[in-house]
Amino acid sequence: MRNKSRTSETLVRLLEHARFEVLPTATIEDKLLEHVPVERTVTVTASPSKGLEPTLALAERLTGHGYVAVPHLAARMVRDQDELAEICARLTGQGITRIFVPGGDADAPGAYPDALSLLEGLAALGSPFAHVGITGYPESHPTITDDVTIQSMWDKRRYATHVVSNLTFDPGVLAGWVRRMRARGITMPLLLGVPGPVDRTKLLSMAGKIGVGDSTRFLVKHKGTFARLAAPGGFTGERFLQKCAADLSAPELAVEGIHVFTFNQVAETETWRRQLLDQLGSPA
């Protein structure tokens, strides 16, 4: 009973500290305003085909609406230090204090070929953001070896405040990775990357909206992910979260919340989150 109670408490904590990832499409702002309370943190992805402007502009507008908005500053999409300084001044001028720094998928990078180089660039500008997230890879990256991803996370720890795990559907793999990460001395708080409830038709439509090049990159990088999400009935994640909560409730593992890949299905994702909390006897 004690273990079950601890698992339930962990589930509640993860769901209460859930943030939603969205893509900067034309309709997502209205969807968020209609369905997602301003207390929910929203992260905004960056598209190589559209550039950083839609990401920055949406993050600014969401901040104006009262959300905590976290723009993705994809390293390979930033031209040079001057542009980085301009972006920092623009965002901090709007009260944005949190960013997420992935390497990104732009084919022809500017001055920052990877996330570490951009993080170093931010440090040279005086580290203007209080919260800086980086990516962790529980499973192998399709184009980067495991040894490199592990070393990269170790190198980036000096500039970041937390880690967001990439998608995985194996709770055992995730739990083992978290323990190895902690054993290596990487102590930053962790947000577990999980998919929200996804309808296969809407997912296919979403893949089209993010641009042909971006969709191709997504499919190449996440073939297994796409197959699981596009299966009839989609993927809701309740059982996955329960297993994670059972394995990762120890305080020393520092799992503080979940990062939900919504694929812009924010109404369904918020309903799912609230229903799970209701089942656990916690207010949404």
Q: Residue 60 sits in a domain of what CATH number?
A: 3.20.20.220
Residue 215 is predicted with a pLDDT of: 42
Tens-place pLDDT, residues 112-154: 999 999 999 999 999 999 999 999 988 755 555 556 666 777 8
Does residue 284 belong to any structural domain of this protein?
Answer: no
Residue 181 is predicted with a pLDDT of: 87
DSSP state of 260: E
The whole domain housing 231 covers: 2-278
| Residue ranges in the chain assigned as alpha helix (H) | 2-16, 28-35, 53-65, 81-93, 115-124, 146-156, 171-183, 200-209, 212-221, 223-229, 238-247, 266-279
Q: Is residue 195 very low, low, confident or very high in pLDDT (cuts 50, 70, 90)?
A: confident
Does residue 283 belong to any structural domain of this protein?
Answer: no
Mean pLDDT of 100-116: 88
Residue bearing the bigger pLDDT, 252 or 209: 252
Which residues, in sequence order, are CB contacts of 63 under 8 Å at separation 6+? 69, 94, 95, 96
Q: Is residue 104 very low, low, confident or very high in pLDDT (cuts 50, 70, 90)?
A: confident
The partner residues of 192 in beta bridges, in order of sequence, read 258
Mean pLDDT of 27-40: 97
Backbone region of residue 127 per phi and psi (left: phi > 0; alpha: psi in -120 to 50; beta: other values): left
pLDDT above 50: residue 211: no
Does residue 50 belong to any structural domain of this protein?
Answer: yes
> What length does the chain have?
284
The least confident of 165-179, 183-197, 230-244 is: 230-244
Number of domains in the chain: 1
Q: For residue 158, give both structure tokens.
A: 């000096």
pLDDT above 60: residue 107: yes
Residue bearing the bigger pLDDT, 165 or 238: 165
Does residue 163 belong to any structural domain of this protein?
Answer: yes
For residue 273, give the amino acid letter. Answer: R
Share of the chain above pLDDT 70, in %: 81
Residue 219 is predicted with a pLDDT of: 47
Phi, psi of 19 (to 5 degrees): -120, 150
Does residue 64 belong to any structural domain of this protein?
Answer: yes
pTM: 0.87
Q: For residue 251, give both structure tokens.
A: 């305080």
pLDDT above 70: residue 263: yes
Residue 76 is predicted with a pLDDT of: 94
Does residue 264 belong to any structural domain of this protein?
Answer: yes
pLDDT above 50: residue 210: no
Does residue 139 belong to any structural domain of this protein?
Answer: yes
